[in-house]
Amino acid sequence: MFENIFYELSLIIVIATLVAAFTRLLKQPLIIGYIFAGIVIGAGLFTISVSEGVMETFAHIGVAILLFMVGLNLNPKVIKDVGKVAVITGVGQVIFTSLGGFLIALAMGFSPIASIYIAVALTFSSTIIIMKLVSDKGDLETLYGKISIGFLLVQDIIAVFALMIISSLSGGGDVFTLITTSILKVIALLAVVFYFSLFLLPAFTKRIAKSQEFLLLFSLCWCLALATVFSVFGFSIEVGALLAGITLAASPYRFEINSKMKPLRDFFLVLFFIVLGSQMVFSDITPYIPQIIIFSAFILIGNPIIVMLLMKFLRYTKRTSFKAGLTVAQISEFSLILIALGVRVGHIPTHILSVVTVVGLITITGSTYMILYSDKIYNKISKYLGIFEYKGKKIDEQKLESSEGYEAILFGYNRIGYDLLESLKGIKKKHLVVDYNPDTINKLTKEGVQCRYGDANDLELLNDLDFRKAKMVISTVPDFETNTLLIKHIRETNKKTIIIVVSLQIDEALQLYGTGADYVLMPHFLGGHHASTIIGKYRFSHAKFQQEKQKQLQYLKKRKEQKHEHPVHEKNHN
């Protein structure tokens, strides 16, 4: 038995690796490759018979770890900041999408019961896929990232209750009693969890953190334990794992936990996407191709429009609304589970499962590209999105002291930007900071620093800023395309502005110089260059190195007070 599982699991990994390699060769998102690997495996092209329960268990572990790591990046302040918009957008999107899906399904000839199932299936987006994509883009700390996480979690809560209601109807149970009992269970579980997080975990983690291996083991234990407890009480493992992460979000060891858990997350999530692909059913779809196209278009286009309209009335800029809207442009793995349940209890025919499966594949694939290339898409179509722009003062827009006259503009404050801002303060030149993190904007505003919320790759923002009088523009954003766009935009209006950008690759740095950058910072080389300068200057003088040590200790303590953290070292950044 063990040898069989080992052999077949190894074969699955080999197939996934080969498909992923081909996907990378075509420069396509790896998620698509993993799902197609699952489709290949599920089609029976290989003699693989690993227990479905074994594979799903591995997949659930990946989901739990992903949500746990997302929870590590949340805290009560974040929840407070985006709680209102998350609830309104989440509930509003569920209502309008389900209503629209129901009417479309009825109009295309499906029965009322089948239309209800289809409508509910089209309503929910894949939290797992979105978390993965937003995390990989490094956008979890952005405003749209936080809002997306918020309303996706609201969706998950609604989805849990929807599944419970359908299960109750199929089993003849009382829906009101079931929901009331569930609410009481949630309150009791939350009380116990947050008691642990406030009074027991801080002291416990302090002792555990002395051993990196023990810290990893405890984190995995805490994640899976809470996920299991919530599952036992009738809720999803996602909610339990997320709460496990939130309880450690205030811990000073969250960065170490995050870096240790990442390889585990990536491995098990690969299995999740393979399982997702292998469960897709494609029989009996030929007569329903028009319906599949219409449903897919409704999800890929209609869902983002619904979210954008809701966020417009909540007074967000069209850029934030657009990027948040794209995160709901797919159906979730829950949709397949829901339809499969409907088929099993006899509420709907089997061809509905095939239709929803194909819609799932199309929307997951399409939304993956839409999210990964959201900035480029937005820059291309932003002029057509005026209908989604709130006309008054936006929540995520700052009023500048003046629209022109800044001698220095800094894009990106944290880490490298902190030192650069201190230098700009020192030379006493009028400066502006642009950052995508609303917490950073609030902090700098309280300190009296002129700042503005936004991304360096936002053409509307760049057009709004006046670079004609800028003597220096600095970008600490390490993204090559963003810096290229910024340099070209500035050079169109000002040939003399000193432009400083950041790069992580030598080839990209050389191209940035060719585009018009005056200086390219390469953080990985900068440290070694600085150390070599010190060695050449101090030679073997122990006393001088002790002086340098004291200076650096003071500097590091100051950065720690600012709650800055050095980024986790990753191989692809070498």
Radius of gyration of the chain measured on its C-alpha atoms: 26
Long-range Cβ contact pairs of 442-451 (< 8 A, separation 24 or more): 444/413, 445/398, 449/421, 450/400, 450/401, 450/406, 451/398, 451/413
Q: Tell me, what CATH number does 334's domain have?
A: 1.20.1530.20
Q: 31 and 62: one domain?
A: no
> Domain check: are 10 and 33 in the same one?
yes
Q: Which residues lie across from 451 on neighbouring strands? A: 433
DSSP-derived pairing of the beta strands 472-475 and 408-411: parallel
Contacts of 479 (CB under 8 A, 6+ apart): 457
Most confidently modeled range among 50-64, 181-195, 325-339, 388-402: 325-339
Task: Check whether residue 155 and residue 302 sit in a common domain.
Answer: yes
Average pLDDT estimate for 160-185: 66
Q: How many CA atoms lie within 13 A of 360 on its CB side?
A: 32
419 and 484, same domain (yes or no): yes
416 and 541 share a domain? yes
The token duo for 466 is 């006046």
The mean pLDDT of 543-557, rounded to a whole number, is 81
Q: What is the pLDDT of residue 569?
A: 43
Q: Model confidence at 304, in pLDDT bands (50, 70, 90)?
A: very high
3-state secondary structure of 407: coil
What's the CA angle centered on 378, arms 376 and 381, to 5 degrees?
A: 110
Q: The sheet that has 431-435: what strands, in order across it? A: 451-453, 431-435, 408-411, 472-475, 498-502, 519-521
89, pLDDT greater than 60: yes
**Rounded Cα distance, 523 and 113, in Å:** 59
Contacts 24+ apart (CB under 8 A), 342-346: 342/117, 342/166, 345/166, 345/170
What is residue 172's predicted lDDT score, i.e. its pLDDT?
A: 55
Q: No. of H helices and E strands in the chain? A: 25, 6
Of 130-134, 370-374, 553-557, which range is least confident?
553-557
How many independent structural domains does the chain possess? 3
pLDDT of residue 101: 93
In a domain, 64, yes or no: yes
Q: How confident is the model at residue 307 (pLDDT cuts 50, 70, 90)?
A: very high
Buried-state track 121-160, b at ≥16 Cβ within 10 A, e below 16: bbbbbbbbbbbbbbbeeebbbbbbbbbbbbbbbbbbbbbb
Under 8 Å CB-to-CB from 72, ≥6 apart: which residues?
Answer: 245, 246, 248, 249, 254, 257, 258
Report the pLDDT value the prediction gives residue 393, as an integer from 0 to 100: 61
Query: pLDDT category, 469, cuts 50, 70, 90?
Result: confident
Given a cut of 80, whether residue 401 has pLDDT beyond it is no
For residues 225 and 252, the model is more confident at 225
| Structure confidence at residue 397 (pLDDT) | 58
Closest by CA to 482, choosing from 462, 506, 507, is 462
Q: Which of 306, 333, 364 is the last residue of a domain?
A: 364
Q: Which of 157-171, 237-251, 273-287, 425-439 has the lowest mean pLDDT?
A: 157-171
User: What pLDDT, on a 0 to 100 scale, did the predictor assign at position 403?
Assistant: 46
Query: Does residue 571 have a pLDDT over 50?
Result: no
Average pLDDT, integer, range 454-461: 79
CATH of the domain at 457: 3.40.50.720
Q: Which residue has better confidence, 228 or 165?
A: 228
Residue 78: which pLDDT band, with cuts at 50, 70 and 90?
low
Residue-wise DSSP of 34-91: HHHHHHHHHTTSS-----HHHHHHHHHHHHHHHHHHHHHT--HHHHHHHHHHHHHHHH
Are residues 69 and 45 located together in one domain of the fold?
A: no
- The residue from 310, 330, 364 where one domain ends is 364
**Both tokens assigned to 519:** 């200086």
Residue range 404-449, pLDDT digits in tens: 578 889 998 876 787 888 888 887 778 889 888 777 887 888 888 8
Query: Average pLDDT in the 309-326 region?
Result: 89
Question: Who wins on pLDDT, 442 or 480?
Answer: 480
Q: What is the structure's pLDDT at 574? A: 35
Chain-wide mean pLDDT for the chain?
80
pLDDT higher for 11 or 372?
Answer: 372
Return the closest-CA partner of residue 251 out of 214, 213, 219, 217.
219
Note the pLDDT of residue 3. 59
- Judge whether 189 and 229 are in contact, CB under 8 Å: yes
Closest CA to 421 of 232, 559, 256: 559
Residue 184 pLDDT exceeds 50:
yes
Of residues 474 and 190, which shows the higher confidence score? 474
pLDDT exceeds cutoff 70 at 75: no
360 in any annotated domain = yes
Contact between 368 and 133 under an 8 Å Cβ cutoff? The reply is yes
- Are residue 32 and residue 66 in the same domain, yes or no? no
pLDDT tier, 163 (very low <50, low <70, confident <90, very high otherwise): low
Q: Is the pLDDT of residue 128 over 80?
A: no
Can you give the residue range of the structural domain that contains 494? 408-573
Q: Please, what sign has the CA dihedral across residues 511, 512, 516, 517? A: negative
Asked if residue 570 has pLDDT above 70, the reply is no
> What pLDDT is recorded for position 73?
67
Identity of the highest mean pLDDT range in 212-221, 271-280, 298-307, 308-317: 298-307
Domain boundary pick from 332, 364, 396: 364
Grade residue 295 by pLDDT with cuts at 50, 70 and 90: very high
Structural domain contains residue 193 = no
User: Which residue's entry shows tokens 């800094």?
Assistant: 410
Which H/E stretch holds residue 509? helix 506-515
Cα–Cα distance measured from residue 433 to residue 451, given in angstroms and rounded to the nearest whole number: 4
Beta carbons of 378 and 387 less than 8 angstroms apart:
no
Same domain, 417 and 508: yes
Q: Verify that 40 and 70 share a domain, yes or no.
A: no
pTM of the complete model beyond 0.85: no
Q: Does any domain span residue 184?
A: no
Q: Which pLDDT value is given to residue 50?
A: 56
Residue 359 sits in the same domain as residue 433: no
DSSP codes, 166-188: HHHHHHT--HHHHHHHHHHHHHH
Number of other residues whose CB lies within 10 A of the CB of residue 529: 9
Q: Region 398-405: what's the mean pLDDT?
A: 52
> Do 473 and 563 belong together in one domain?
yes
- For residue 489, is it within any domain? yes
**What digits encode the pLDDT tens for the residues 321-374?**
999 999 999 988 778 777 877 887 778 888 888 888 889 889 988 998 999 888
Q: Which residue has the tokens 């070292």?
A: 569
Residues of the chain above pLDDT 70, percent: 86
The predicted model gives 83-107 an average pLDDT of 91
118 with 267, same domain?
yes
Phi and psi at 281, nearest 5°, equal: -115, 130
Percentage of residues of the chain with pLDDT beyond 90: 13
- Give the tens place of pLDDT for each residue, 12-62: 888 888 888 888 888 777 778 888 888 777 766 665 555 666 777 877 888
Structure tokens at 221: 């234990």
What does the pLDDT average to over 477-487?
88
**E strands, 136-260, in order:** none
- Round to whole Å and give the CA distance between 344 and 166: 12
- Cα 412 → chain centroid: 19
Looking at residue 164, its pLDDT comes to 62
